[in-house]
A and B are shown apart, each in its own frame.
Chain A
Amino acid sequence: MQIMTHLLPPAGFPPARRSLAATLGLALLSVWLPAHPLLAQTAGASLYLEHGCYGCHGHQGKGTHVEQANNLFPKPPVLLAGRTPFLVSEDVFRAYLRLRAEQQPQQPSVMMPHYSAEVLDDAEVSVLYAHIMDFPVDEPALEETVLGWLLEHAQAR
Chain B
Amino acid sequence: MEDSDKSTLTRRGFLGGTGLAGTAVVLGGMAPAAVAQPAAAASASAQPPSAAQLARDTEVVEPPAVSGITRRPGSDLMVELLRDLGVEFVVANPSSSFEGLHESIINHPAQPNRNPELITALHEGSAVDMAHGYGKATGKPMVVMLHATVGLQNAAMAIYQAFVDKTPIVLLIGSDDGFIQAHIADDLAALVRPYTKWDAAPRTLPEALDAIQEAWIQAVTPPCAPTLVVVDSHLQKASAEGVALPSLRQPQFPLISTADAELIASRLLGASNPRLDVGRLRTPAGVERAVRLAELTGACVGTRANQGPMSFPQSHPLCGPGASTDYDFVLGLELPSPHFSISGPELGSLTGRDEAGVGFSIVRGRPAAPGAAERRSADAEASLALILEAVLAAGSDAARTSSIRQRSEAHGTRNREARLTTLRAQVQRRLRGWDASPVSTARLYAELWPFIADEDWCIGSQTNFSGGHHADLWAHDKPYSCLGSSGAAGIGYSLGASVGAALAARDHGRLVVDFQGDGDFNFMPGALWTAAHHRLPLLIVMHNNRAWHQELMFVQYLTGARGRGTDRAHIGTTLRDPFVNYRAIAEGYGVEGIGPVADPAELAAAYRRGIEVVKSGRPFLVDVLTQPR
Q: Tell me if A65 and B315 are in contact (CB < 8 A).
A: no
Q: Tell me if A108 and B434 are in contact (CB < 8 A).
A: no
Chain A residues with CB under 8 Å of B552's CB are 52, 55
A56 touches B (CB below 8 Å)? yes
Q: Tell me if A59 and B428 are in contact (CB < 8 A).
A: no
Q: Tell me if B553 and A58 are in contact (CB < 8 A).
A: no
Q: Tell me if A109 and B561 are in contact (CB < 8 A).
A: yes
Q: Tell me if A149 and B450 are in contact (CB < 8 A).
A: yes
A4 touches B (CB below 8 Å)? no
A-B contacts, 30 listed (Cβ < 8 Å):
A1-B437, A1-B598, A1-B599, A39-B437, A50-B570, A54-B627, A55-B569, A55-B628, A56-B553, A58-B440, A59-B628, A60-B433, A62-B436, A65-B432, A65-B433, A65-B440, A65-B469, A68-B464, A69-B629, A72-B553, A105-B563, A109-B560, A139-B431, A139-B433, A142-B431, A145-B446, A146-B449, A147-B446, A150-B473, A151-B424
Q: Tell me if B563 and A101 are in contact (CB < 8 A).
A: yes
A36 touches B (CB below 8 Å)? yes
Distance of A142 Cα from B436 Cα, bound (Å) = 15
Distance of A81 Cα from B604 Cα, bound (Å) = 30
B464 closest partner in A (C-beta): A68
Chain B residues with CB under 8 Å of A155's CB are 420
Chain B residues with CB under 8 Å of A146's CB are 446-447, 449-450, 604
Distance of A111 Cα from B145 Cα, bound (Å) = 49
**Residue from B433, B473, B556 in contact with A62 in the complex, judged by beta carbons closer than 8 Å:** B433
**Residue from B431, B437, B475 in contact with A145 in the complex, judged by beta carbons closer than 8 Å:** B431
**With A1-B598, A78-B432, A154-B419 in contact, is A39–B625 under 8 Å at CB?**
yes
Residues of chain B whose beta carbon lies under 8 Å from any beta carbon of chain A: 315, 419-420, 423-424, 427-438, 440-442, 446-447, 449-450, 453, 464, 467-469, 473, 475, 546, 549-550, 552-554, 556-557, 559-567, 569-570, 574, 576-577, 579, 598-599, 604, 625, 627-629
A112 touches B (CB below 8 Å)? yes
A73 touches B (CB below 8 Å)? yes
Chain A residues with CB under 8 Å of B428's CB are 142
Chain A 55-99, CB within 8 Å of chain B: the 1/0 string?
A: 110111011111011001100001000000000000000000000
Chain B residues with CB under 8 Å of A148's CB are 427
**Residue from A2, A38, A59, A145 in contact with B627 in the complex, judged by beta carbons closer than 8 Å:** A59
**With A109-B561, A136-B435 in contact, is A154–B440 under 8 Å at CB?**
no
Chain A residues with CB under 8 Å of B550's CB are 69
Chain A residues with CB under 8 Å of B599's CB are 1
A17 touches B (CB below 8 Å)? no
Q: Tell me if A110 and B561 are in contact (CB < 8 A).
A: yes
State how many angstroms separate the Cβ of B436 from the closest Cβ of chain A.
Answer: 4
**With A62-B627, A150-B473 in contact, is A112–B424 under 8 Å at CB?**
no
Q: Tell me if B553 and A55 are in contact (CB < 8 A).
A: yes
Chain B residues with CB under 8 Å of A63's CB are 432-433
A105 closest partner in B (C-beta): B563
Distance of A116 Cα from B549 Cα, bound (Å) = 24
Where chain A touches its partner, the secondary structure class is loop
Residues of chain A whose beta carbon lies under 8 Å from any beta carbon of chain B: 1-2, 35-39, 50-52, 54-56, 58-60, 62-66, 68-69, 72-73, 78, 101, 105, 108-116, 118-119, 136, 139-140, 142, 145-151, 153-155, 157
Distance of A2 Cα from B436 Cα, bound (Å) = 9
- A-B residue pairs, 10 tightest by C-beta: A62-B433, A113-B560, A119-B565, A108-B563, A66-B629, A64-B629, A147-B427, A114-B563, A60-B436, A1-B437
Chain B residues with CB under 8 Å of A35's CB are 577
**Residue from B442, B556, B557 in contact with A65 in the complex, judged by beta carbons closer than 8 Å:** B442
**Residue from B438, B446, B569 in contact with A59 in the complex, judged by beta carbons closer than 8 Å:** B438
Distance of A150 Cα from B441 Cα, bound (Å) = 16
Distance of A74 Cα from B427 Cα, bound (Å) = 23
Chain B residues with CB under 8 Å of A105's CB are 563
Q: Tell me if A36 and B576 are in contact (CB < 8 A).
A: yes
**With A113-B560, A146-B450 in contact, is A119–B315 under 8 Å at CB?**
no
**Residue from B429, B567, B576 in contact with A119 in the complex, judged by beta carbons closer than 8 Å:** B567
**With A65-B467, A69-B553, A151-B427 in contact, is A38–B576 under 8 Å at CB?**
yes
Chain B residues with CB under 8 Å of A55's CB are 549, 552-553, 556, 569, 628
Q: Tell me if B427 and A52 are in contact (CB < 8 A).
A: no
State how many angstroms separate the Cβ of A97 from the closest Cβ of chain B.
Answer: 11
Chain B residues with CB under 8 Å of A2's CB are 437
**Residue from A50, A54, A68, A142 in contact with B427 in the complex, judged by beta carbons closer than 8 Å:** A142
Chain B residues with CB under 8 Å of A36's CB are 576-577
State how many angstroms separate the Cβ of A3 from the closest Cβ of chain B.
Answer: 11
Chain A residues with CB under 8 Å of B576's CB are 36-38
State how many angstroms separate the Cβ of B491 from the closest Cβ of chain A.
Answer: 16
Chain A residues with CB under 8 Å of B565's CB are 113-116, 118-119
**With A38-B576, A65-B429 in contact, is A145–B566 under 8 Å at CB?**
no
Chain B residues with CB under 8 Å of A157's CB are 315, 475
Q: Tell me if B546 and A38 are in contact (CB < 8 A).
A: yes
Q: Tell me if B446 and A58 are in contact (CB < 8 A).
A: no
Distance of A58 Cα from B565 Cα, bound (Å) = 19
- Other than the given A150-B427, A151-B423, 13 more pairs (CB < 8 A) read A60-B433, A64-B628, A65-B442, A66-B441, A69-B550, A73-B557, A101-B563, A110-B557, A113-B556, A118-B565, A139-B431, A147-B427, A147-B430
**Residue from A37, A52, A119, A142 in contact with B570 in the complex, judged by beta carbons closer than 8 Å:** A52
Q: Tell me if A147 and B431 are in contact (CB < 8 A).
A: yes
**Residue from B434, B436, B560 in contact with A112 in the complex, judged by beta carbons closer than 8 Å:** B560
Distance of A42 Cα from B472 Cα, bound (Å) = 36
**With A55-B549, A58-B627, A154-B420 in contact, is A115–B432 under 8 Å at CB?**
no
State how many angstroms separate the Cβ of A54 from the closest Cβ of chain B.
Answer: 6
B429 closest partner in A (C-beta): A65
Chain A residues with CB under 8 Å of B564's CB are 114
**Residue from B432, B569, B570 in contact with A139 in the complex, judged by beta carbons closer than 8 Å:** B432
**With A108-B561, A153-B450, A154-B423 in contact, is A65–B430 under 8 Å at CB?**
yes
**With A62-B440, A150-B446 in contact, is A54–B628 under 8 Å at CB?**
yes
Chain B residues with CB under 8 Å of A118's CB are 565
Chain B residues with CB under 8 Å of A147's CB are 427, 430-431, 434, 446
**Residue from B438, B467, B468, B567 in contact with A39 in the complex, judged by beta carbons closer than 8 Å:** B438
**With A56-B553, A59-B627, A142-B428 in contact, is A50–B435 under 8 Å at CB?**
no
State how many angstroms separate the Cβ of B221 from the closest Cβ of chain A.
Answer: 34
Distance of A110 Cα from B559 Cα, bound (Å) = 9
A140 closest partner in B (C-beta): B434
**With A62-B432, A114-B560 in contact, is A154–B441 under 8 Å at CB?**
no
